[in-house]
């Protein structure tokens, strides 16, 4: 079981609390709550004083991998939102 708060941060998906896996200055990993279903979702990141929100799509679970660089080796900064229905 993962914690719901990590390094002062918490996440909700469509208002339901997510379990936190990892937090750093450039990345945050969390497990979306069970039984979310697929489709549009609102993700909110809370750090106590502030909340940042983003919209994303929840898709069926499946194997995957996430890269922080493109094939040419150049880093592409910007939000990367990936949520899988588990």
Tell me the pLDDT tens digit for each residue of 21-35.
999 888 888 988 888
pTM score, whole prediction: 0.71
Pair 30, 18: CB distance under 8 Å: yes
Contact 33, 27 (CB under 8 A): no
Residue 61 falls inside a structural domain: yes
Question: What would the pLDDT profile of 36-86 be if each residue is shown by its tens digit?
Answer: 888 999 999 999 899 999 998 888 877 665 555 555 555 555 545 555 544
Domain that holds residue 66: 10-85
The answer to whether residue 4 is domain-embedded is no
For position 82, what pLDDT does the model report? 53
31 part of a folded domain: yes
Domain for residue 36, yes or no? Answer: yes
Is residue 3 a part of any domain in this protein?
A: no
- pLDDT, average across residues 6-27: 93
In a domain, 5, yes or no: no
Query: What pLDDT score was predicted for residue 63?
Result: 67
Q: How many domains does one find in the chain? A: 1
From CA 57, how far away is CA 40, in angstroms rounded? 4
Handedness of CA 53, 59, 63, 68 (dihedral sign): negative
């Amino acid at each position: 079981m993962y914690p719901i708060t990590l390094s002062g941060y918490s996440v909700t998906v469509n208002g339901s609390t997510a379990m936190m896996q990892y937090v750093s200055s450039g990345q945050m990993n969390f497990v979306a709550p069970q039984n979310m279903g697929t489709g549009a979702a609102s993700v909110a990141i809370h750090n106590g004083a502030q909340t940042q929100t983003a919209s994303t799509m929840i898709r069926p679970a499946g194997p995957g991998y996430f890269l922080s660089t493109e094939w040419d080796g150049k880093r592409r900064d910007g939000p990367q939102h990936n949520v899988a229905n588990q």
